[in-house]
Amino acid sequence: MRELFHGRRRKTGIVSLAMACLLMIGWVRSHVKDDIFAVNIGKTWCFTFQSNQCGLGMIAAAYGTDTSTISVTWNSQPIRPLASKNPMTNYHVDVPYRIDFHGFHFGCDGLNLLLPRYYAICFLSYFYLITPLTLVSAYLLLVTPRIAKPRDVVENVNLG
């Protein structure tokens, strides 16, 4: 069992495989539950990290006046039956600047952070996180590295 953790390649491969497995658990859970982790920094900034059927996402919003309080909340609720897989339509906000690719969504209210109200929404599908981690871990764990020949053996073969 100790041989499994020898070498940097093995350790990195096992860590990337564990991360892929954890993200896969989150992906399966996201089809049933909508998990929301929110961090409010005063009344000005609110950072929301969310896992739902749209993928893994972050919403940053700025509004109001600043105070020195920090609060953290966690909420888990069932997925709404009529929820869209496009996060820009689920929050009922106007998103004038947006980029939408298959599985990637980004939108913001504007580029001026000094406005009294500002928000940015970014979601990435679990597929784009799990696939590279799985491929990297398969490569690191299954492909054996080539062993370099000692220099004196190579020189003797060339001379002889």
pLDDT per residue over 106-123, tens digit each?
Answer: 888 766 666 667 788 888
User: 156: part of which helix (H) or strand (E)?
Assistant: helix 151-159
Which residues have CB under 8 Å from 91's CB, separation 6+?
A: 59, 121
Give the pLDDT confidence score for residue 61 in this predicted structure.
83
pLDDT, greater one: 34 or 111: 34
- pLDDT category of residue 133 using cuts at 50, 70 and 90: very high
pLDDT, greater one: 85 or 135: 135
Give the pLDDT confidence score for residue 89 in this predicted structure.
66
Using the predicted structure, report yes or no on whether residue 84 has a pLDDT greater than 70. Answer: no
